[in-house]
C-alpha cells in the first residue's frame, strides 16, 4: 500500500507540472495585451512598458515560467491583476460555493440514480425498465443551460416557490453563509437555516445533477445485469437464499466497483467548476471565476485555479482507487 501511494503521489506531481506548463504557455500565446487591458487604450507607450516590466512580461516565456514555477514551490501563485488579492486566495474563496453545489448535485445523483439502476437492472425488459431508461436518456441529452432556464421560469417565476439564484441573502433570522451553507446549517442545528440553505441550492443542484444521475443509473443497470448472470449468483439462488439478500450481497456489491469509478469521475468534473450552472444561477463559484479571469487575462488566477482543479481531480481519483479495496478483497490483496 505504501509503495502504491508513493507511486500515485509521484504521478500527481507530474500531472501538476504538466498542467502548469500547458496553462502557462496557453495563456501567454492568447491574443491580447495584459498591460493594455489594465491601463486602457489611452495609456502611453512609457506606461505600458513600465507595467510590462513590473509584471515581468518583457522577459522570455521560459524565464517567466521558471520564475512562476519557483514562486509556486514557495506557495506563492502571484497577485490577481483584477482584485489585487493573492491569486490562490481568490480561488479558495470561490471554491466552497462550487464544492457545496457539486456535493449536493452528486448526492442527489447517487440517491436517485442508484435505486433507478437497481430497479431497472432487476426487471430487464419490463415497463419500469423501459420507462426509467428513457427518462435517463433525456437526462443525458438535455442541455444544462436549457434545463436551468426552464426550472428558473417554472419554479422561480411562474410558481414563485424557490429563489431564482445567488447566495443566501443576509437576514435577521437567517444569516448569510457564503461558503458551505448547508453543512454549516446542519452543524449549527438550526432548522430554519437548513431550510433556507436548501431552498437556494435546490434549483442549481437539480440542474447540475441531471447528467451524473443518468450516467450512474445506466451504469448501475448495466453492471447489475452483468453480475446477475454469474455462477455464484445462480448458486446462491439455488440454495434458497432470499432474493433481496442475493441482490444486495452478491449482485449489487460486485456491481458497485464500476459505479464508484463513474461517481469519482463525475465528482472530479463537478468540482472543476460548473460554469453554466453557476452562470445561470448567479453563483460566484470557481467556474465563473476561471471564465472571468481568462477573459480579462488574469494570468495568476487562471494558473492557480488550473493547478488547484488538477490537484482536486487527481486526489479524487486516488480516493476512488483506494475505495476499490473496500468492495473487492481481490483488489485489496493485490
How far apart (Å, rounded) are the C-alpha atoms in residues 207 and 213? 11
pTM, rounded to two decimals: 0.74
Q: What is residue 166's predicted lDDT score, i.e. its pLDDT?
A: 57
The angle, 0 to 180 degrees and rounded to 10, between the axes of the packed helices 87-122 and 286-295 is: 130
Whose grid coordinates read 504538466? 18
Give every CB contact of residue 128 below 8 A, 6+ residues apart in sequence.
Answer: 119, 120
DSSP secondary-structure letter at 156?
I
Cell of 60: 522570455
Q: What is residue 173's predicted lDDT score, i.e. its pLDDT?
A: 40
DSSP secondary-structure letter at 178?
S
Could you tell me how far CA 79 lies from the centroid of its own chain? 25
How far apart (Å, rounded) are the C-alpha atoms in residues 235 and 60? 69
Residue 175 to residues 128, 182, 187, 196, 252: CA-CA distances in angstroms? 44, 12, 14, 10, 43
Listed as ranges, residues in the chain with pLDDT below 50 are 168-180
Cell of 189: 442545528
How far apart (Å, rounded) are the C-alpha atoms in residues 81 and 293? 9
* Helix, strand counts (H, E) of the chain: 16, 0
Over the chain, what is the mean pLDDT? 76
Q: What is residue 178's predicted lDDT score, i.e. its pLDDT?
A: 42
Query: Of all helices (H) and strands (E), which one includes residue 10?
Result: helix 2-29
Q: What is residue 195's predicted lDDT score, i.e. its pLDDT?
A: 56
Angle (CA) 93 97 103, round 5°: 135
Amino acid at each position: 500500500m505504501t509503495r502504491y501511494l508513493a507511486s500515485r503521489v509521484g504521478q500527481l506531481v507530474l500531472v501538476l507540472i504538466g498542467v502548469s506548463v500547458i496553462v502557462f504557455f496557453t495563456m501567454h500565446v492568447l491574443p491580447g495585451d495584459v498591460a493594455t487591458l489594465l491601463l486602457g487604450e489611452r495609456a502611453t507607450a512609457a506606461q505600458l512598458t513600465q507595467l510590462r516590466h513590473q509584471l515581468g512580461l518583457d522577459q522570455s516565456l521560459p524565464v517567466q515560467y521558471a520564475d512562476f514555477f519557483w514562486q509556486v514551490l514557495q506557495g506563492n501563485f502571484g497577485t490577481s491583476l483584477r482584485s489585487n488579492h493573492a491569486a490562490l486566495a481568490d480561488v479558495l474563496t470561490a471554491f466552497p460555493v462550487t464544492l457545496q453545489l457539486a456535493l449536493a448535485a452528486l448526492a442527489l445523483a447517487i440517491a436517485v440514480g442508484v435505486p433507478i439502476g437497481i430497479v431497472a437492472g432487476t426487471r430487464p425488459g419490463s415497463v419500469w425498465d423501459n420507462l426509467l431508461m428513457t427518462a435517463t436518456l433525456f437526462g443525458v441529452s438535455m442541455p444544462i443551460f436549457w434545463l436551468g432556464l426552464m426550472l428558473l421560469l417554472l419554479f422561480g417565476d411562474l410558481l414563485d416557490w424557490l429563489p431564482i439564484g445567488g447566495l443566501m441573502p443576509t437576514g435577521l433570522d437567517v444569516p448569510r453563509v457564503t461558503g458551505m451553507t448547508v453543512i454549516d446549517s446542519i452543524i449549527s442545528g438550526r432548522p430554519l437555516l437548513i431550510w433556507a440553505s436548501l431552498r437556494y441550492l435546490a434549483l442549481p443542484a437539480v440542474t447540475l445533477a441531471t447528467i451524473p444521475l443518468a450516467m450512474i443509473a445506466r451504469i448501475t443497470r448495466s453492471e447489475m445485469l452483468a453480475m446477475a448472470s454469474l455462477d455464484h449468483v445462480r448458486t446462491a439462488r439455488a440454495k434458497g437464499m432470499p432474493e433481496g439478500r442475493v441482490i444486495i450481497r452478491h449482485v449489487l456489491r460486485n456491481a458497485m466497483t464500476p459505479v464508484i469509478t463513474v461517481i469519482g469521475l463525475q465528482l472530479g468534473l463537478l468540482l472543476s467548476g460548473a460554469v453554466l450552472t453557476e452562470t445561470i444561477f448567479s453563483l460566484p463559484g470557481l467556474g465563473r471565476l476561471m471564465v472571468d479571469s481568462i477573459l480579462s487575462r488574469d494570468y495568476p488566477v487562471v494558473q492557480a485555479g488550473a493547478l488547484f482543479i488538477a490537484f482536486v481531480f487527481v486526489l479524487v481519483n486516488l480516493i476512488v482507487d483506494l475505495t476499490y479495496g473496500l468492495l473487492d478483497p481481490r483488489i485489496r490483496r493485490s
